[in-house]
Structure 1
């Protein structure tokens, strides 16, 4: 069982995280290139946020939501 977990460790450390180690080596040269994956994740989050706000605006413009005070039982 111990070898199984060492195999998982080797897979992640030596194979799957190798690109991140290469990006870490770029840190001394360029901060922007070293944080390439962070920029990608921030762009994905921004696109998702804009999409969500557009969907909320669409439902708000159709007046589909009951905005009365008694619309929810906990109010």
Structure 2
């Protein structure tokens, strides 16, 4: 059972986290290049938020949502 957990450790440390180790070493020489991954995620999230807001505006302009004010029946 111990070998199973060591195999998982070996997989993550030696293979899956290798790109992150490269980014960590790159940060010591060029911070802007190392931060490009973060900026890519920020841009993706910004595009997704803008798209989502445009879709909400489209449905709001078509008056497709029932906006009647009502409370629960037990109140």
TM-score under structure 2 length normalisation: 0.83
How far off is 1:9 after superposition?
0.9
Give the gaps of 5 or more residues in structure 2. Answer: none
Higher relative contact order, chain-length normalized (CA < 8 Å, sep 6+): 1
> How far off its partner does 1:14 sit?
0.8
SS at 1:54's partner residue?
Answer: helix
Over aligned residues, Cα RMSD in angstroms? 1.7
**1:73 is the counterpart of 2:72:** yes
5+ residue gaps, structure 1 = none
**How many correspondences in the alignment?**
73
Cα drift, residue 65 of structure 1: 1.2
Matches within 5 A, 1:1-75: 1-70=1-70, 73=72
